[in-house]
Amino acid sequence: MYYILWIPSVFCLILVILTLPCSSVNTTEISEVYALKTMYYALNGEYWDWMATNISGNIWNFSETDANPCNELWQGIACSCSLNTNMCNIVSISLNSYGLVGTLSDLHNLSVLSHLDLGHNAIAGSLNTISNMTQLIFLKLDHNDLTGDIAAVSHLSQLTYLSLDTNYLSGDISAIANLTLLNTLDLGIFIHTPFY
Residue 172 has a pLDDT of 87
Q: What per-residue confidence (pLDDT) applies to 6?
A: 45
pLDDT tens digits for range 13-69: 333 333 334 435 578 999 999 999 999 999 999 999 998 666 678 999 998 778 899
Q: Sketch out the chain's domains with CATH numbers.
A: 27-186 (3.80.10.10)
Enumerate residue ranges in the chain where pLDDT < 50: 1-23, 192-196
Q: Which of 114, 84, 95 is nearest to 22 (CA)?
A: 84
Nearest Cα neighbor of 158 from 183, 134, 133 is 134
**CA nearest neighbour of 61 among 79, 42, 74:** 74
Three-point CA angle 89, 46, 99, nearest 5° = 85
Long-range (24+ apart) CB contacts under 8 A made by 177-185 are 178/154, 179/153, 179/154, 181/157, 184/160
Which one, of 67, 92, 83, lies nearest residue 20 by Cα? 83
Contact 140, 163 (CB under 8 A): yes
